[in-house]
Amino acid sequence: MAALRGRDFTGIRDLDVGELLELLRLAAELKARSRAGDRPPLLSGKTLALVFEKPSLRTRVTFEAAMLQLGGHAVYLGAQDIQMGSRESPPDVARTLERAVDGIAVRTFAQETVQALAEHARIPVLNALSDWEHPCQALAALLTIQERLGRLTGVRLAWVGDGNNVLRSFLLGMTRLGISIAIATPPRYGIDPETLRAAREDAASAGAAVEVTDDPAQAVAGADLIYTDAWASMGQEAEAAARRQAFARFQVNAALLARAPRTALVSHCLPAHRGEEITGEVLDGPRSVAFDEAENRLHVQKALLAQIL
């Protein structure tokens, strides 16, 4: 889609509904072609810088593989390679990289770092994760829902656990496509009011709804997909013990699945802490699509890169 060429992707709302749907269409096409042994060199000669201040398995591998499969190349720059904020400022990093590569994917803590790179770089900047949003995970979840359920509009997603960056991207992206989201979080660990307000407005416009409860069983009733994530994200390690206590009854386990429809699927953005937010029995069970979604990170990012770079 020519309209995306050269644009930043700092959050899920950088794409309108039509652009989201076209990206999912292209991702499905590229996935099918890849499985048939056809990998078009759409990014031949292109280079993507991976500026990662947080460790990664899926994000690094899928971005590097995406560039390779489309004929391009990725350059990985870890936290110690740049020491952004101490050795070099984000604006200086942006101005340096724009002269050597065609795009920047940044995995960082503060959303302000993503915004600073986007503001000062003349090349596209993609949010590969920040503490505020994880838009690529939302794209992968959407592709997985579309594949497994055959639709987006009318789907009901139950979120059980922490009101974190993944949930924020889900709320700001999925509701615009007619997906209803029921959120079950402990008191004090919910999503921020502004995100909730915006998501409810989007949901109402799309014929969907956003519900909030502190009862996981209530959230999963009628769910098509049950979603969870780690109780303590990177940077919250000091809170881990307190969070385990607060989230104890928010585990996605066989007992909770019994309160949901038999057809309900389960996913997790990974890495999973087995025995905490989800049991191994559920994560490895027949209703889990977590690893399908992890694969789909590759395909949605290929589509995103092909359209933007």
Collapsed DSSP state (helix, strand, coil) of residue 273: coil
Whether 120 is a known active-site residue: answer: no
Amino acid at 3: A
Q: Which of 134, 243, 268, 299 is catalytic?
A: 134
Is 137 assigned a catalytic role?
A: yes
Selected catalytic residue, list 58, 156, 268, 297: 297
Catalytic, out of 229, 251, 301, 307? 229
Q: Are 136 and 129 in contact (CB under 8 A)?
A: yes
134 is a catalytic site residue: yes
Catalytic residue status for 229: yes
CA proximity to 69, closest of 299, 308, 304, 309: 299
In the three-class reduction of DSSP (H, G, I as helix; E, B as strand; rest coil), residue 236 is classed as: coil
Closest by CA to 90, choosing from 72, 104, 76, is 104
Kindly name the residue from 156, 269, 299, 301 that is annotated as catalytic.
Answer: 269
- Which candidate in 58, 60, 107, 243 is catalytic? 107
Q: Any alpha helices (H) in 98-246, and if so which ranges?
A: 111-120, 135-149, 165-174, 193-205, 216-220, 240-246
Q: Where are the alpha helices (DSSP H) in the chain?
A: 17-35, 58-69, 79-82, 90-97, 111-120, 135-149, 165-174, 193-205, 216-220, 240-246, 254-257, 280-283, 290-308
Say whether 307 is catalytic: no
Q: Give me the catalytic one of 137, 146, 251, 307.
A: 137
In the block, tokens 């990012």 appear at 301
Tokens of 266: 């389960």
CA distance to 140, 203, 292, per residue, from 268 (Å)? 11, 23, 10
Residue 297 known to be catalytic: yes
- Of 238, 309, 252, 250, the C-alpha closest to 283 is 252
| CA atoms of 12 and 89, how far apart (whole Å) | 25
Q: Which residues contact 79 (CB under 8 A, 6 or more apart)?
A: 52, 53, 54
Give catalytic residues, as residue numbers. Answer: 107, 134, 137, 229, 269, 297
